[in-house]
């Protein structure tokens, strides 16, 4: 092909691409204006019956009423919530596929899953933080320390002899323990299980002395006097456990951790759709029955703007990256 013909072809190709792009951009306002016009799928990246699933179904039920379209929860568990995350990242960004996930999970995931197929910062569009679950330092009822300071003193007197349980290598509970070790300057042995339900028998029997875990699973045993909570990892005291100090109050200033419930869409979802969903979820979070149900699970309701949750994501990613780096953890 001559240079002149090649030049003409390039100009025509450029015009075609520009026309296609302008047509696609022009279609977004129409999509947003008519949204939603059909049922919405809400991915829950954990099994049915768990905490995330319960929150997803509660939000979906109330949000469907406000949006005037059914909202179907689609459980896609596995691989530390990354199967669900992968499904969201590959979805069409039109507002009809959403996910209730955790910014904490996806901040940790790059360090655990070497071949991760998505990047939370690039592939997810955060809509709103629904809330965060309370994380507690829980110990067996017969464990001698009564405070965090006493626990740290005991650990320093017996380096490498005390252990902590987690629901698996590379999960939030594991990294909670690693962060505790770093900030307290102590040496604890990590004992991983396959989930909280698996570690509970050993914690209750005293075969493992402690865990830094989400509150709900431990509440019945706390009420029965079989475990004690030494501190909550929230920035402020928990309304569920108002007499229990925060980690900062108990002697570890700056120690903050929480499970997280955030609504995401695929990156590229039209901003008017994101804005509408943010508005409606915030309205749902003001409903008395919704607040009661979430708070009964130890979830602190947050809500807020798109911008506020966008700012939180890089902070969480940097925080857990530093914990992994300092701990020199290696994941297969």
Beta-strand runs (E) in 102-244: 124-140, 163-166, 189-192, 210-214, 227-232
Place 320 in a pLDDT band, splitting at 50, 70 and 90: very high
162 and 111 in a common domain: no
pLDDT of residue 101: 94
**32-73 pLDDT, tens digit each:** 678 999 999 999 998 888 788 999 999 999 999 999 999 999
Distances 112 to 10, 107, 142, 185, 332 between C-alpha atoms, Å: 45, 10, 34, 24, 8
What integer is the mean pLDDT of 174-195?
95
User: What are residue 291's phi and psi, to 5 degrees?
Assistant: -60, -45
CA distance 282 to 149: 39
| CATH (domain of 197) | 3.40.190.10
What integer is the mean pLDDT of 277-281?
98
What is the signed CA dihedral for 144, 147, 152, 158, rounded to 10 degrees? -10
Tokens of 176: 């909670």
Q: What is the CA radius of gyration of the chain?
A: 23
202 and 172 in a common domain: yes
Q: Is 117 helix (H, G, I), strand (E, B) or coil?
A: coil
How many domains is the chain partitioned into structurally? 2
pLDDT of residue 145: 98
Q: Give me the DSSP letters along 141-176.
A: TT-S--SHHHHHHHHHHSTTT-EEEESSTTSHHHHH
pLDDT, averaged across the chain? 90
Q: Is residue 19 part of a domain?
A: no
Cβ neighbours, 10 Å, residue 195: 14
Domain of residue 208: give its range: 136-250
């Amino acid at each position: 092909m001559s240079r002149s013909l090649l030049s003409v072809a390039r100009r025509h190709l450029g015009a075609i691409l520009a026309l296609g792009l302008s047509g696609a951009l022009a279609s977004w306002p129409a999509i947003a204006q008519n949204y939603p016009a059909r049922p919405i799928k809400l991915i829950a990246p954990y099994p049915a019956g768990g905490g995330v699933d319960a929150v997803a179904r509660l939000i979906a039920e109330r949000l469907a009423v406000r949006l005037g379209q059914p909202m179907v929860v689609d459980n896609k568990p596995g691989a530390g919530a990354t199967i669900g995350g992968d499904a969201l990242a590959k979805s069409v960004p039109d507002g009809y596929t959403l996910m209730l996930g955790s910014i904490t999970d996806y901040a940790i995931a790059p360090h655990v899953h070497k071949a991760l197929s998505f990047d939370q910062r690039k592939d997810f569009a955060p809509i709103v933080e629904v809330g965060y679950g309370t994380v507690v330092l829980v110990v067996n009822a017969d464990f001698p320390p009564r405070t965090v300071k006493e626990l740290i003193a005991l650990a320093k007197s017996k380096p490498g002899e005390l252990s902590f349980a987690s629901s698996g290598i590379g999960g939030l509970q594991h990294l909670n323990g690693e962060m505790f070790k770093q900030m307290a300057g102590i040496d604890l042995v990590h004992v991983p299980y396959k989930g909280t339900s698996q570690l509970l028998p050993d914690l209750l029997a005293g075969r493992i002395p402690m865990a830094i875990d989400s509150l709900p699973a431990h509440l019945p045993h706390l009420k029965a006097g079989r475990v004690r909570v030494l501190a909550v990892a929230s920035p402020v005291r928990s309304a569920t456990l108002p007499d229990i100090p925060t980690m900062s109050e108990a002697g570890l200033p700056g120690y903050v951790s929480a499970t997280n419930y955030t609504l995401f869409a695929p990156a590229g979802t039209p901003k008017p759709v994101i804005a509408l969903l943010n508005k409606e979820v915030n309205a749902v979070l003001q409903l008395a029955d919704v607040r009661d149900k979430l708070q009964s699970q130890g979830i602190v309701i947050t809500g807020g703007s798109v911008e506020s949750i966008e700012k939180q994501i890089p902070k969480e990613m940097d925080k857990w990256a530093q914990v992994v780096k300092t701990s020199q953890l290696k994941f297969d």
